[in-house]
C-alpha cells in the first residue's frame, strides 16, 4: 500500500512539473472557428517536448499537431495545436474556453499551454467490437484511421442512447468504414446528389 501511494505522488509531481507556457493573444476567426496564434518560442518549446516524448528528438522536422492542455481563466481543455504555416502553430479557442474568458473575436485573452502526453485513445465499446468482428473489412479500415477520426466516430456512436438509435448509428458506422475501404480515403459518394 505504501509503494502505491509513493508512486501516485511521484506521478502527480511529474505531471505538475511539466512546464506551462503562458501568453496573451487576440482571438481571430477563420470561417466559423476562433483561434489564437501561439508565439513562436512557445510553439518551438512545445514541439521540442512533443518530439522528445515520441522519440523524435534528433529530427529537425516539427510535429504537425501538438497535443496540449489549454487553460483560459481557470477552464482547462484537452486540445491540439494545429499548424499555422511557416513553422508556427495556432490554438482553436472552442466554446468552453471562449465562455471561460468571456471573450470573442477581437478580444485579448490570457492562455496557459502545457504539453499533454496522456493517451487520447478511446475504449471501443464491447457491442461495437462484436459488430466489427463480423465485418473484417470495416475493422481493418477502422484500425487504419488516425486517432482523431476514430475518436469522432466513437463519439458519434456513443451519442446514440436507445437501442434503435444504436442500431441505426452502428449501420451508418459500418457503411462509412466499408465505403472508405472500397473507395479509398477522401473519395466519398455524395448522398442526395441531384441528377439533371
Rg of the chain on CA atoms, in Å: 21
What does the pLDDT read at residue 8? 62
**21 compared with 146, residue with greater pLDDT:** 21
Answer yes or no: are the C-beta atoms of 131 and 178 closer than 8 Å: no
Question: pLDDT category, 43, cuts 50, 70, 90?
Answer: very high
The whole-number average pLDDT for the span 145-150 is 84
Question: pLDDT category, 196, cuts 50, 70, 90?
Answer: very low
Question: pLDDT category, 37, cuts 50, 70, 90?
Answer: very high
**Averaged pLDDT of the chain:** 84
In 40-162, which residue ranges form alpha helices assigned H by DSSP? 40-53, 95-101, 126-134, 136-144, 147-159
Going by C-alpha positions, the residue among 146, 117, 119 that lies closest to residue 50 is 117
Predicted confidence (pLDDT) at residue 195 exceeds the cutoff of 50: no
What does the pLDDT read at residue 29? 95
- CATH numbers and ranges of domains, the chain: 18-115 (2.40.30.100), 126-183 (no CATH)
Going by C-alpha positions, the residue among 87, 85, 88, 79 that lies closest to residue 33 is 79
Q: Within a 10 A sphere around the Cβ of 91, how many other Cβ atoms?
A: 27
Query: pLDDT tens digits, residue range 55-100?
Result: 544 456 778 889 999 999 889 999 999 999 988 999 999 988 999 8
CA distance 109 to 104: 9
Query: pLDDT tens digits, residue range 169-181?
Result: 999 999 999 999 8
Predicted confidence (pLDDT) at residue 36 exceeds the cutoff of 90: yes
**Cell numbers linked to 185:** 480515403
Predicted confidence (pLDDT) at residue 1 exceeds the cutoff of 70: no
- CB burial class (10 A; 0-12, 13-18, 19+) of residue 46? buried
What values do phi and psi take at 102, rounded to 5?
Answer: 55, 50
Instruction: Provide the angle, in degrees to the nearest 10, between the axes of the packed helices 147-159 and 163-183.
Output: 150
Among residues of the chain, what percentage have pLDDT more than 70? Answer: 80
The whole-number average pLDDT for the span 45-64 is 72
Amino acid at each position: 500500500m505504501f509503494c502505491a501511494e509513493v508512486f501516485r505522488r511521484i506521478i502527480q509531481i511529474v505531471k505538475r512539473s511539466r512546464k506551462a507556457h503562458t501568453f496573451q493573444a487576440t482571438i481571430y476567426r477563420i470561417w466559423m472557428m476562433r483561434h489564437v496564434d501561439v508565439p513562436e518560442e512557445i510553439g518551438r518549446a512545445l514541439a521540442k517536448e512533443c518530439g522528445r516524448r515520441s522519440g523524435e528528438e534528433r529530427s529537425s522536422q516539427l510535429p504537425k499537431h501538438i497535443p496540449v492542455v489549454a487553460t483560459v481563466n481557470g477552464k482547462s481543455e484537452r486540445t491540439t495545436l494545429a499548424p499555422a504555416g511557416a513553422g508556427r502553430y495556432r490554438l482553436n479557442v472552442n466554446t468552453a474556453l471562449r465562455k471561460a474568458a468571456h471573450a470573442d473575436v477581437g478580444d485579448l485573452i490570457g492562455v496557459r499551454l502545457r504539453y499533454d502526453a496522456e493517451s487520447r485513445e478511446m475504449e471501443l465499446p464491447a457491442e461495437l467490437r462484436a459488430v466489427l468482428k463480423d465485418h473484417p473489412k470495416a475493422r481493418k479500415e477502422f484500425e487504419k484511421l488516425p486517432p482523431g477520426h476514430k475518436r469522432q466516430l466513437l463519439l458519434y456512436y456513443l451519442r446514440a442512447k436507445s437501442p434503435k438509435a444504436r442500431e441505426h448509428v452502428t449501420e451508418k458506422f459500418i457503411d462509412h468504414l466499408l465505403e472508405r475501404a472500397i473507395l479509398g480515403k477522401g473519395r466519398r459518394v455524395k448522398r442526395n446528389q441531384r441528377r439533371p
